[in-house]
Amino acid sequence: MDFNLSEEHRMIRDMCREFARNVIVPRAHEIDKTGDYAYDIIEQMAELGMMGIPISEKYGGSGGDWVGMHLCIEEISRGDATFGALLDVNTSIVAQELEVFGTEEQKQKYLVPIAKGEKIGAFGMTEPDAGSDAGSIRTSAYLDGNEWIINGNKQFITNIGLKNASIIIITAVTKRAKRGRGRISTLIVPKESPGFMLGKRYDKIGLNGSATHEVIFEDCRIPRANLLGDPSKGFAQHLSVLQTGRISIAAIATGIATACLDECIKYAKERVQFGRPIGSFQAIKFKIADMAVCIELARNQYLKAAWLKDQGMKHAFEATVAKLYASEMVERVASDAVQIHGGYGYMAEFPVSRYYKGAKVLQIVEGTSEIMRIILSRELGIPEY
């Protein structure tokens, strides 16, 4: 077993760490406060090749791997998880889904600009009445000659509201069943398609620089050729790339938790009460030591899952453990970080308040903690009744 990062991995990590420290961190408070999308930062991330690290060079990526991608996501999220969320959806989910299941034509048309970062991708599974129960979607599509006609709506969609977002990959029912759920396929919907409408922008409690919108399809027309992969396996295809999304959520959580640790170490040395730095109180230093323990375990677990994926080995269990553990860990760590900062920790200008707001969502997106536990129980062979 070799736990050393390769030279290439270290280079990616250090480059992203430096970028986060120099470019993202100085802007993060303002982005969170205004909710403005930082297109200039996204552009620089693209120029540095962050959008396509694991995608092959043939399709506009860097030909790297998923360990490298997730080291990047962790370091960027340490600066501001808004940008980690963008990378997760754009690369781990959309770019991967296109590369694995797309035709050559789809890859040239949609994947290349997304892997290069010239365009941004989104995915849409969630609907008002279909969240955890993602198989119960109502969005439907039928063929009319050479076009699919889509009707329905998707909610809480990351990235699609960005002006440079090009497509949303959606799940839609393409064949109704007399009994049961019908056939679900995945379709590539370009944003400029007739009948595509961007709905409201959600007002969130955290990750405010991340675009989250509703999407409406009203007799939305896309070419027949925009069916992605096997029409009868759309749901399974989508779930398979969501496994990688779970590793990405764990990397985002590790990044936020590490940022909390950084701030707490600094503050514990600076803040003096009762004539001593608060870091000299056992209650504070133990909290900080515990944070470091949890972060180490979360990082090891997401790297293990990413490494297994790079080896082409099964990693559903490891990715689910990584997501569940890291997302629950970061909420505790961020809460402790606010506590260590006392009243200042509750003030918007102190970064820990932003980390605290951003951490919670990681237990919800791409499968809630409850759903992760159901998946793990299934993996452990516990029957469902």
Ligand X SMILES: Cc1cc2nc3c(=O)[nH]c(=O)nc-3n(C[C@H](O)[C@H](O)[C@H](O)COP(=O)(O)OP(=O)(O)OC[C@H]3O[C@@H](n4cnc5c(N)ncnc54)[C@H](O)[C@@H]3O)c2cc1C
Catalytically active residues are 366
The residue (of 62 and 363) whose beta carbon lies closer to ligand X is 363
Among 37, 101, 110, 123, binds ligand X (CB under 6 A): 123
> Residue 291 CB, nearest distance to ligand X (Å)?
24
Stretch that binds ligand X, among 16-24, 262-270, 289-297, 370-378 (CB under 6 A): 370-378
Q: Between residue 194 and residue 223, which ones bind ligand X under the rule CB under 6 A?
A: 204, 212
> Residue 51 CB, nearest distance to ligand X (Å)?
16
Return the half-sphere exposure (C-beta side, CA atoms, 13 A cut-off) of residue 2.
3
**Mode of pairing for the β-strands spanning 165-175 and 120-124:** parallel
**Residue at shortest CB range from ligand X:** 131
Among 167, 215, 365, 375, binds ligand X (CB under 6 A): 365
Q: Is 51 in the site for ligand X (CB under 6 A)?
A: no
Stretch that binds ligand X, among 19-27, 122-130, 176-184, 272-280 (CB under 6 A): 122-130
The residue (of 108 and 164) whose beta carbon lies closer to ligand X is 164
Q: Is 131 in the site for ligand X (CB under 6 A)?
A: yes
The residue (of 246 and 287) whose beta carbon lies closer to ligand X is 246
Strand partners, 185: 172
| Token pair belonging to 21 | 């420290």
Among 19, 66, 156, 267, binds ligand X (CB under 6 A): 156
Q: Is 368 in the site for ligand X (CB under 6 A)?
A: yes
3-state secondary structure of 213: strand
Stretch that binds ligand X, among 180-188, 324-332, 344-352, 368-376 (CB under 6 A): 368-376
> Residue 35 CB, nearest distance to ligand X (Å)?
13
- Residues near ligand X (CB under 6 A), total: 20
Q: Is 157 in the site for ligand X (CB under 6 A)?
A: yes
Stretch that binds ligand X, among 61-69, 72-80, 124-132, 177-185 (CB under 6 A): 124-132
Among 89, 260, 298, 322, binds ligand X (CB under 6 A): 89
The residue (of 247 and 361) whose beta carbon lies closer to ligand X is 361
Q: Is 249 in the site for ligand X (CB under 6 A)?
A: no
Q: Are 195 and 221 in contact (CB under 8 A)?
A: yes
Q: Is 152 in the site for ligand X (CB under 6 A)?
A: no
The residue (of 157 and 261) whose beta carbon lies closer to ligand X is 157
Q: Is 158 in the site for ligand X (CB under 6 A)?
A: yes
The residue (of 140 and 158) whose beta carbon lies closer to ligand X is 158
Stretch that binds ligand X, among 150-158, 181-189, 240-248, 268-276 (CB under 6 A): 150-158
Q: Is 190 in the site for ligand X (CB under 6 A)?
A: no
Report the distance separating Cα 24 and Cα 164, nearest Å: 20
Among 97, 99, 336, 366, binds ligand X (CB under 6 A): 366
Using only C-alpha atoms, what is the Rg of the chain?
21
Integer distance in angstroms from the first to the last C-alpha of the chain? Answer: 40
Stretch that binds ligand X, among 54-62, 152-160, 188-196, 319-327 (CB under 6 A): 152-160
Q: What would the 3-class secondary structure string for the chain be?
A: CCCCCCHHHHHHHHHHHHHHHHHHHHHHHHHHHHCCCCHHHHHHHHHCCHHHCCCCHHHCCCCCCHHHHHHHHHHHHHHCHHHHHHHHHHHHHHHHHHHHHCCHHHHHHHHHHHHHCCCEEEEECCECCECCCHHHCCCEEEEECCEEEEEEEEEEEECCCCCCEEEEEEEEEEECCCCCCCEEEEEEEECCCCCEEEEEECCCCCCCCCCEEEEEEEEEEEEHHHEECCCCCHHHHHHHHHHHHHHHHHHHHHHHHHHHHHHHHHHHHHCEECCEEHHHCHHHHHHHHHHHHHHHHHHHHHHHHHHHHHCCCCCHHHHHHHHHHHHHHHHHHHHHHHHHCHHHHHCCCCHHHHHHHHHHHHHCCCCCHHHHHHHHHHHCCCCCC
Residues that bind ligand X (CB under 6 A): 89, 123-126, 131-132, 156-158, 204, 212, 361, 364-366, 368, 370-371, 374
